[in-house]
Amino acid sequence: MQSIQAEKTSSNPYVLKIENLSVVRSGKLVLDDINLTIRRGEFVAIIGPNGSGKSTLLLTILGELKKKTGKIEIDAKPTSRGYFGNIAWVSQAASNLPDHIRITVQELVQLGTLNPANLFFPYSKKNRMSVEKAIEMVGLKEVQHTDISRLSGGQRQRAVIARALAAESEFILLDEPLVGIDRDARNQLLKLLDQLCHDAGKTILLVSHDLTAMQQTAHRLVYLEETIRFDGQTEDFPNLETLASLRGIRNVHVQEHVENIQTEFDHDLEKCKTNDSRED
């Protein structure tokens, strides 16, 4: 299959660098020859159909899945299982807390400040300031003492992003954060992510199947289906016909039309041969 690689002109140092990455799961090649560089301050969306390897790529970046070939570096350091470096990870299920768990927005965000170094003294002045700042950044100050279970889907999603911000990570990974939230909440969340890049200098890598939303928000689109089929600026993303071609999908209606013409031609040719034989 073909691929499109749009020219990259940014001179910012990279946060993530992936070279020649291949991943096998259950004996099947899921990712093949992935090469991807993400620079500081970018908002990059990885899009593709179900089963295209999007979540596999995120889990491999986090060191949760083993790679067959290639290397991954974050801030020029190789990644490994349990190594998160300067990464904040927001999984697809992060905001779906069980009903029996009672925790306020503030308490949830405080969890983002925990690390092995402060495990026994977690609530320092610095951590409290980080929590307050994170809650304010996502616009949840008025509900910071409210139980998470009483919030809307969009508010819960912003709360788990605030938890990531409280960790003061510069690189935020999100897996399908738009699932299960309404249109207004989706728009607010996407605006927040854009602001985090522009105003707070965060780098965002987001996985989504919502191409339309990503075209309106992300700075750069990466179309993934086993390998990278397109990587470039949002405005350069191919139209649907070109995208189908990149995926190896043919227009079945056009093919049927061609086959019908060929059938008619073969029929007429056979008819001519029959008439010529009779004249002889």
Query: Average pLDDT of 270-276?
Result: 60
What span, in angstroms and rounded, lies between the C-alpha atoms of 64 and 137?
30
Whole-number average pLDDT of the chain:
81
Tell me which residue of 194, 105, 202 sits closest to 156, measured CA to CA: 105
Query: Average pLDDT of 113-123?
Result: 63
Taking phi over 0 as left and psi of -120 to 50 as alpha, with beta for the rest, 41 belongs to left
Question: Is the confidence at residue 1, as pLDDT, over 90?
Answer: no
What span, in angstroms and rounded, lies between the C-alpha atoms of 69 and 34?
10
Using 50, 70 and 90 to split pLDDT, how confident is the model at 116? low
Query: Considering the chain, what percentage of its residues have pLDDT values greater than 70?
Result: 77
The pLDDT of residue 183 is 86
What span, in angstroms and rounded, lies between the C-alpha atoms of 38 and 17?
7
What span, in angstroms and rounded, lies between the C-alpha atoms of 90 and 173?
6
Question: Is the confidence at residue 164, as pLDDT, over 80?
Answer: yes
The SS3 assignment for 31 reads strand
The pLDDT of residue 50 is 85
Query: Average pLDDT of 130-144?
Result: 91
Question: Is the confidence at residue 46, as pLDDT, over 90?
Answer: yes
Collect all residues with Cβ–Cβ distance below 8 Å to 166 and sequence separation of at least 6: 109, 110, 112, 113, 127, 130, 131, 133, 134
Using 50, 70 and 90 to split pLDDT, how confident is the model at 132? very high
The pLDDT of residue 113 is 81
Distances (CA, A) of 14 to 78, 81, 200: 13, 21, 17
Distances (CA, A) of 49 to 55, 223, 244: 11, 9, 12
Identity of the highest mean pLDDT range in 75-84, 177-186, 217-226: 217-226
Give the DSSP H/E element, type plus range, for residue 45. strand 43-47
